[in-house]
Amino acid sequence: MLRAVGFTDKDFLKPQIGIASTWSMVTPCNMHINGLADLAAAGADAAGGKSVIFNTITVSDGISMGTPGMRYSLISREVIADSIEAVTAAEGFDGLVTIGGCDKNMPGCVMAMARLDRPSIFVYGGTIKPGAKHRDVISVFEAVGGVAAGSVSEAELREVELTAIPGPGSCAGMYTANTMASAIEAMGMSLANSSAQEAISDAKKMDCERAGEAVVQLVRRGIKPSDILSKESFENAITMVIALGGSTNAVLHLLAVAHDASIALTLDDFARIGVRVPVLADLRPSGRYMMSELIQIGGIQPLMKILLDAGLLHGDCLTVTGKPLAENLAHIKPYPQGQDIIRRLDDPIKADSHLAVLYGNLAPEGAVAKITGKEGTRFTGSARIFHSEEDALQAILSGKIIAGDVIVIRYEGPKGGPGMREMLSPTGAIIGKGLGDKVALITDGRFSGGSHGFVVGHVAPEAAAGGPIAIVEEGDQITIDAETKTIDVAISKEEIDLRLRNWTPEPAYTTRGLLAKYAKLVSSASLGAVTDIS
């Protein structure tokens, strides 16, 4: 069978290298990855291996956002991890290169690599170039809100739509894709600068070829993910996510990867590390710059060197280069004088993490907020209750949400959604309507990496599991405090208990197919929303 797909006698003496390609034409994030897979395969072959390319799926978060299709987004992470595991284990590959370029296939790739524990390297597909007038995909969502507010015309919205996404690559700011690429590199599973290259660039082509070559060397040296992934390497990843002002989705995905690597990582680790790590990068969505502009001044490697020298990274962690992190960074040059994308340690954007892990009577198992400080650090307001993203979005666009409201979107968690949809449409509409610092939004769903404002997600336990978010009523006073790390509704424990006793679960969204299977299997968001915890 292998002769029929091109193997010769000599090939059977070589290490077989699986090349997992997430190529797809459903999204610009992945439309170029077939070419990158060919380059990785060529690199593996040139180094004395025998490459075998195979595919897995991708769904587009941006296209499914705000629709029932978004229920499949987080679920696709498990499908991707499962499919890479299945093919690699069934075919008996000696090594693995995975190439991802969208929010869920990236953690899905690394989850599979951790499970399989054979020599592996992750390659990021690369970031998209900025659109005209410094636009990106988030510009479109916020322009929709602008139309509803009357500050953006239909003609202006169309121009934004036509120019925001100029070609291949992942979303342009420090959204989930660029966040996860940076985290994966910091944890040692990508080659240097893989996370900081444009999708269409010579640097990205070279990165793919080098990854193919490097994985053959890992096979020969017997270096596996279990030699690289450790509690300390995950702490490095968390540190980078915070310093870059990255996506809340990184919390969910790093918990899931750690689970597959059999490493004890919890929400409290994010809180512990967040106390001492500042936000240094002035990157979108809350900042001014895009990933392409960070690439122009040197990418994330100089930032890693800054953090290492300050004792905020573990330099002795092994990486896929076969060398420890500190050795990889030894000769990295500092950022050029005068740049203002990455701030100095003594002049941070925020002195501690923007990712606040909150606990309280609304979230006994925790919730995750992305609060940069620009929107304030404390909010108290009246609950406005919605049982779906669509209902909340309609209320925002029609002007029914006013200053002082706390929008509560529930039954959108891992089980209740099912699928834990991202709330970019509501948060984009809030910003577009000019309410970004005037209202808050809490949900047992999650947020796009492009979301910003006073938003709290991953509320656990979720409503479908009988969490307290299920019994909040219209007009209840909710307080979110990023300094005390609390989220509470102003009712007594006795009243909460009474409401929960009288609570009736919402009917299941579906009883058949993938969504039904996921709803039965998925764990709490506080555990990474994985599907194999008994």
202 in helix, strand or coil? helix
Cα–Cα dist 98/104, whole Å: 13
The DSSP secondary structure of 366-377, one letter per residue, reads EEEEE--STT-S
Reported confidence tier of residue 447, pLDDT bands at 50, 70, 90: very high
Q: Is the pLDDT of residue 534 over 80?
A: no
Q: In whole angstroms, what separates CA 316 from the centre of its chain?
A: 26
At 471-483, the pLDDT tens digits run 999 999 999 999 9
Average pLDDT over residues 174-181: 96
Q: Is the pLDDT of residue 449 over 90?
A: no
Average pLDDT over residues 261-267: 98
Closest Cα to residue 170, out of 194, 144, 141? Answer: 194
Per-residue confidence (pLDDT) for residue 450, from 0 to 100: 80
Cα–Cα dist 25/168, whole Å: 10
Per-residue confidence (pLDDT) for residue 442, from 0 to 100: 97
Per-residue confidence (pLDDT) for residue 313, from 0 to 100: 98
Cα–Cα dist 512/41, whole Å: 39
At 202-246, the pLDDT tens digits run 999 999 999 999 999 999 999 999 999 999 999 999 999 999 999
Q: Is the pLDDT of residue 385 over 90?
A: yes
Cα–Cα dist 281/270, whole Å: 18
CB atoms within 10 A of CB 472: 22
Q: Could you tell me if 233 and 261 are in contact, meaning their C-beta atoms sit under 8 angstroms apart?
A: no
Average pLDDT over residues 386-398: 95
* Tokens (6 digits) for 465: 């599991």
Q: How are beta strands 16-21 and 50-55 bridged, if at all?
A: parallel
At 122-139, the pLDDT tens digits run 999 999 999 999 999 999
Cα–Cα dist 447/290, whole Å: 19
Average pLDDT over residues 519-534: 96
Please tell me whether the overall predicted TM-score, pTM, comes out greater than 0.75 for this model.
Answer: yes
Torsion sign, CA atoms 180, 182, 185, 186: negative
Average pLDDT over residues 442-456: 90
78 in helix, strand or coil? helix
Active site residues: 448
The DSSP secondary structure of 277-339, one letter per residue, reads --B-B-BTTTSSB-HHHHHHTTTTHHHHHHHHHTT-S-TT-B-TTSSBHHHHHTTPPPPPTT-
Average pLDDT, the chain: 96
Per-residue confidence (pLDDT) for residue 345, from 0 to 100: 98
% of the chain residues with pLDDT over 90: 92
Minimum mean pLDDT among 68-72, 432-436, 498-502, 524-528: which range?
432-436
% of the chain residues with pLDDT over 70: 100
Minimum mean pLDDT among 63-67, 196-200, 254-258, 395-399: which range?
63-67
Average pLDDT over residues 25-29: 96
Q: How are beta strands 477-481 and 486-489 bridged, if at all?
A: antiparallel
Cα–Cα dist 228/233, whole Å: 7
The helix or strand, by DSSP H or E, that contains position 55, with its residue range, turns out to be: strand 50-55
Q: Is the pLDDT of residue 374 over 80?
A: no
